[in-house]
Structure 1
Amino acid sequence: MLASLEGRTVIVTGGSKGIGLGLARRFGEAGLDVMVVSRNLSEAETAAAGIGPKAFGFAADVSDAGAAEAMATACLERTGRIDILCANAGIFPAAKLDEMTAADFDHVIGVNLRGTFLSVKACLPAMKAARKGRIVLTSSITGPITGYPGWSHYGASKAGQLGFMRTAAIELAPFGITVNAVGPGNIRTEGLDELGADYIAKMAASIPMKRLGSVADIANAALFLASDEAAYITGQMLVVDGGQILPESLGALEAMDA
């Protein structure tokens, strides 16, 4: 059982829906003050209201340096501390290479990778002053481990997060700050639902557990990485995918049922 995190503060970027909302809810259940960050203030405040009185919303585009700094400042003004950052904000518009524009590529890298860097940088002064902190990135199996047509820009951003993570973990270790990532497989969210029932069925068929993951699966992993029990873990990605990356081919799954 994890030691209580009650009384600490977590910032969850991209926290108004999908995995981010699951993260925010789970940390709220654990008794933390939760800053729910979204580009849309109304969505952030609605999500926070559903979590409880210790949660509050804030609007920020984390790809903008000034907005990321304002986010950290507002959190400190409200709670006096930043103990945990869940750098979760991310987008995944599909575009194959022959259709993708430079602007498409830059937009995904800007939100997913630049946004991670700016969010971390904004929270560092408070964490360094406390000489303790937990940074948890929402990466993916797509990019660091696997690929999928239409998501080369997304995969590049998620692989880039891990490169950033490893050096950041070295630099921040002397301050008692850990930097880790969760690598979700296919998780059932609103965004995934938009890809259609056929896509979902095909993905489930390629997973040894024969089902997609839930946002709670990711949130529980993030909560562990943010805990005192994970104090000696840094620079690592915890894959949460129901075994999706394990089979060498669909034939391996067919053999399992034979």
Structure 2
Amino acid sequence: MKTRKGYLMGLGALATIAAILVSADHIDAPSSAGTSADIADFYAFEPSEGSDNTVFVVDLQSNVLPDLAYGTFDEDVLTEINIDLDGDLVEDQVIQAIAKDGRMYFFGPVAPSQTGLNSSVYTEAALGDVEISGATAMVETTSDGVSLFAGPRQDPFFFDFFQFNAVISPELDSAPGGFLPPDEAADTFDGANTMSIVVEIPNSMLGTPTATNALGLSVYKTWVTTNRKQ
């Protein structure tokens, strides 16, 4: 507990003195490739039909191959889940995650004091923390009913990368049959992991969703950013 308190105090100093962070995009920013600033996938969904909770899954660092199965989270990178509640495509609530000494610390949901590319760590809105998983998945559930996870997960992306390269090759006859049928295709990323951050949270803590999806269901407009300390 003393270590956790000391870390939160340290983050408080960071937020007030030097917590200007610059966001990075997956693939678009070469400096983020191969690190946990590199966003691979982002999912938001109900854990079951009619649930009053929402699950957010952020997959980072998509090239964690089997021989590097348990990667690490960069302690200088803040992952931020952004939630728009009024349809203006500006974040009204954020949930933040940042790693320190083998644990992932979560903050929010909180209305950000600044929006867009820059952010600060909102230490006054501590949500909880969880040990970063290795071979065994570790999940922490708070007294507010929030479940937290951070660690490696199987890459959900099924993709025959080598056949894709053959199809788009400038040599038109390199893949005359096009893409392979499912029973012949190879999943190039089978066995590879991503570094994942998962938050399951009651909707009552987020606010009322104002968007409607193609199925006519009420949903949150949400996106994720990674921000590196400068």
TM-score normalised by length of structure 1? 0.24
Greater share of helix: 1
Greater share of strand: 2
TM-score normalised by length of structure 2? 0.26
Greater length-normalized contact order (CA 8 Å, ≥ 6 residues apart): 2
